[in-house]
A and B are shown apart, each in its own frame.
Chain A
Amino acid sequence: MDFKGSDTIPGPRTEDHLPQTAQAAVKIVIVGGFGVGKTTMVGSVSEIRPLTTEETMTQAGVGVDDNYGSESKTATTVAMDFGRISITDQLVLYLFGTPGQERFWFLWNGLFEGALGAVVLIDTRRLEVSFDVIGRLEERGVPFVVAVNSFPDAPRYPVEDLRSALDLADEIPIIECDARRRASSRDVLMTLMRFLHALATAKAPA
């Protein structure tokens, strides 16, 4: 936390300013294991160069890390990369993804509580690293879709094999994507939005 004074801080580029009419923002969280392409996906659809925000957690590692017997609690910094998409002159969408250890960002107050939903990005070479993330979303009741980031050398499983391996309910969408491509990442977000819309329609009173 080395504050440099107001004159030296770079702000948004002029073209990155939101209009004064911007009234409200919504957020989507992109989750998944380390190196699975979350930051790539954020960057491919964001209208601004992805930024990083941090949080320091002093309690997060207690009882989880192997620091039993140690009286001093370690401070863990969790960094989240995020991007932005202007939806209308009034409405802005933010996308958050993080390369950190998954167990920590569930302690980040409010990150998931206010989110519209989540994208679970998976790499079929290391499917098991996404198990804990998916379980935590289920426990929290956060609606999510699963996007398979298609790495060239990754094993390709039929969707139904993946659904079975991930133990996902039939209604949860599973789609392939290339997180480097804007159109492909946009399609993932659209799939999440259609899923959320279907959930809202199903829950709406007749």
Chain B
Amino acid sequence: MTPPQRRRRQQNRQPPPPPTPRTAQQGDEKAPERLYVVAGPDGERADIDLVTLIVARADPPPSATPEQTATLRLCAAPLSVAELSAYLNLPFSVMTVLLTEMLAAELVQARAPIVRQALPDRSLLEAVMHGLQRL
């Protein structure tokens, strides 16, 4: 029996174009105003990855929204943005906007992820291998 045949592709020299940012004008008719309420009017977002670890720095101020209060409660211990998104049932992009505001207000601290470099750190890879061996 002969399996189906694939053809290899070359790596793109040009990085792929960034996804078009979502805005209320682009036909997201479900609830664009909801984004505004959760995340504030400012379109700027912090550089937040799915695996950025978030830690609470303060108690919820009296002005905190329910989403902010819930986030602060969840990340009393460090928690990734992906986990926050899952527990709060908020899409990742909404979570990043919410966290951007909370970072600016110094309610939370972000511990940046280690991203793949052109030349990966071998000691990092070895640490991961060592951890996996103990599973």
Query: Which residues of the partner chain B approach A127 to less than 8 Å between Cβ atoms?
Result: 3-4
Query: Which residues of the partner chain B approach A91 to less than 8 Å between Cβ atoms?
Result: 124, 127-128, 131
Residue in B50, B77, B122 whose beta carbon sits within 8 Å of that of A20 in the complex: B77
> A24 contacts B112, CB within 8 Å?
yes
A26-B113 CB under 8 A given contacts A3-B66, A54-B85:
yes
Does A19 sit at the interface, judged by CB under 8 A? Answer: yes
Does B40 sit at the interface, judged by CB under 8 A? Answer: no
- Within B75-104, which residues are at the interface with A (CB < 8 Å)? 77-80, 82-83, 85-94
Interface mask (A130-157 → B, CB under 8 Å = 1, otherwise 0): 0100111011110000000000000101
Docked pose: A47 CA to B103 CA in angstroms: 28
> A1 contacts B94, CB within 8 Å?
yes
A25-B51 CB under 8 A given contacts A5-B66, A12-B74:
yes
Residue in B9, B52, B88, B129 whose beta carbon sits within 8 Å of that of A25 in the complex: B52
Residue in B26, B77, B111 whose beta carbon sits within 8 Å of that of A19 in the complex: B77
Interface mask (B38-67 → A, CB under 8 Å = 1, otherwise 0): 100000000001111101000000000011
Q: Write the nearest CB–CB distance from B34 to chain A, whole angstroms.
A: 6
Query: Which residues of the partner chain B approach A11 to less than 8 Å between Cβ atoms?
Result: 73-74, 87
Query: Which residues of the partner chain B approach A138 to less than 8 Å between Cβ atoms?
Result: 8-11
> B27 contacts A53, CB within 8 Å?
no
- Within A102-154, which residues are at the interface with B (CB < 8 Å)? 106-111, 113-117, 124, 127-128, 131, 134-136, 138-141
Docked pose: A190 CA to B127 CA in angstroms: 12
CB-CB nearest in chain A for B64: A6
How many residues on chain A are close to B (CB under 8 Å)? 93
Interface mask (A52-63 → B, CB under 8 Å = 1, otherwise 0): 111111111000
Residue in B8, B11, B91 whose beta carbon sits within 8 Å of that of A54 in the complex: B91
Interface of chain A, helix or strand or loop or mixed?
A: mixed
Interface of chain B, helix or strand or loop or mixed?
A: loop
> B87 contacts A10, CB within 8 Å?
yes
Interface mask (A1-44 → B, CB under 8 Å = 1, otherwise 0): 11111100111100001111011111100000000000000000
> A114 contacts B6, CB within 8 Å?
no
Q: Which range contains the number of B residues in contact with the other chain?
A: 35 or more
- Within A163-199, which residues are at the interface with B (CB < 8 Å)? 164-169, 182-183, 186, 189-190, 193-194, 196-197, 199
A194-B129 CB under 8 A given contacts A9-B87, A111-B50, A117-B116:
yes
A25-B114 CB under 8 A given contacts A12-B74, A51-B86, A114-B51:
yes
A162-B19 CB under 8 A given contacts A23-B53, A53-B85, A200-B119:
no
Q: Write the nearest CB–CB distance from A129 to chain B, whole angstroms.
A: 10
Residue in B80, B82, B125 whose beta carbon sits within 8 Å of that of A193 in the complex: B125
> B9 contacts A24, CB within 8 Å?
no
> B113 contacts A139, CB within 8 Å?
no
Query: Which residues of the partner chain A approach B126 to less than 8 Å between Cβ atoms?
Result: 197
A155-B12 CB under 8 A given contacts A1-B90, A9-B88:
no
- Can you list 5 A-B pairs, Cβ within 8 angstroms, ordered by A? A12-B79, A12-B83, A91-B124, A93-B132, A165-B3
